Structure 1
């Protein structure tokens, strides 16, 4: 699964990297701070592609626009009574998303990318006579420093009446990260991983007119290639990342292997 990740690049830089319009800076009106410990229910940057609308709200069917948007991490289905459901839907399994009521419509027409520097995962270690049960956090990222494009789904939710309507008069745009089976050395840390899409998948994935059943979309709903995995680096990091209160650059600093009990076989990568 993916329950924590880092997103530290400025929207202007992400807009250039993903060939998108920076609607995040335009809306926020201020510089967005780096987030080294992105946690569920926070606002995160998503890359979406939609048909632009005119002043009357009519969509132009002949063109699409790719842009960066702020969404809340944790998908709230359109039929949910309140937004609390989102905290339980930060991830969606790529193998079954098309069958789940909460995700199937979003998979069909509201796919997105969630840019990340990398994601955190915890390797569980059983208790032994010499050591207590523990969890060692690892950070996985592209070795060349490029942004990961995690496949996601987004949804719009708006309350119908009452206090929630007063609290969310414009509704909420929320998103979930698709996950898949971990590949190669990644499986030594956890059996699941975010569905990371290579650059040549972005256009088909984001195209709102491409149905989820199309081969061009189905081809990417599976574990990443060995080539992509070989371009990743997995490093053990401090357990300070365990607390969402900690949010600084040192969370990404690799630990000395001597500090890690039974480290994974990093030499298997690449």
Structure 2
């Protein structure tokens, strides 16, 4: 799964990297982004033909949901069923997005303890998770709630020792097709949802302070002394 990540690249870098315009407030650095928080997401507007960097809440709420109470259980969508599961299939067809990140966190179980690790690519970021988004209008207040989920797949050799799942990380040459800027078949979309190459990933142990969502500071992403590193196979 993917339940925490860091996005500390400045808004100006996100705009340049993703060729997007900022809608709403410019995102502030986040070192411990967590579910149910409002975070920057990139979507393509087919009418204006522009990419928008907009604030959405993490935890998908399907348009048909009676209320938003199940959002915390919808922070991830498994790649294996995303095209068919009722909660995700419409968004998979029409509402795909990119979720920018610099690194994500995962916990390795060692002798009953959970040891946090940061995981990133070797691209120097920011990178992008494959995501889906939805908009739901509250029938009582008339207010819109825009939410997103991050797609996960099986872990690669670099991360399997920590967790058996990992978020789908899309390289830049797949961003346009994923966002819907060009025609692409459902089979080709599904083929994108594969593990990122393990030889292009970095893994390091970080402070246990990242376990609390109350902590959101720059040193959470720093490596701590952990003995031998976990390296890609």
Q: Same fold (TM over 0.5)?
A: yes
Partner of 1:112: 97
Task: Note the C-alpha offset of 1:208.
Answer: 5.7
Aligned length: 233
Q: Secondary structure at the match of 2:158?
A: helix
Alignment of 1:156-195 (within 5 A): 156-161=135-140, 165=141, 169-195=142-168
Does 1:101 pair with 2:86?
yes
Task: Note the C-alpha offset of 1:76.
Answer: 0.3
Task: Note the C-alpha offset of 1:248.
Answer: 0.4
Question: Please, which of 171, 176, 181 is the counterpart of residue 203 of structure 1?
Answer: 176
Q: Secondary structure at the match of 2:83?
A: helix
Alignment of 1:29-48 (within 5 A): 32-48=27-43
- Alignment RMSD, CA only? 1.7
Does 1:140 pair with 2:119?
yes
Partner of 2:20: 20
Distance of 1:10 and 1:250 partners within structure 2 = 17
Distance of 1:253 and 1:118 partners within structure 2 = 11
* Consecutive aligned runs of 4 or more in structure 1 exceeding 3 Å deviation: 208-212
Partner of 1:60: none
The 8 Å contact of residues 113 and 152 in structure 1, kept in 2 or not, is answered as yes
Unaligned runs of 5+ residues in structure 2 are none
Write the deviation string for residues 34-75 of structure 1: whole angstroms up to 9, x where unpaired: 1100010101111111222xxxxxxxxxx6211111100000
Partner of 1:89: 74
The 8 Å contact of residues 151 and 196 in structure 1, kept in 2 or not, is answered as yes
What's the TM-score, normalizing by structure 1?
A: 0.82
Partner of 2:128: 149
What's the TM-score, normalizing by structure 2?
A: 0.94
Distance 1:45 1:235, change over 3 A: same
The 8 Å contact of residues 188 and 264 in structure 1, kept in 2 or not, is answered as no
Give the structure with higher Rg (CA). Answer: 1
Task: Note the C-alpha offset of 1:141.
Answer: 1.2
Which structure has the highest strand share of the two? 2
Distance of 2:194 and 2:158 partners within structure 1 = 17
Distance of 1:234 and 1:66 partners within structure 2 = 30
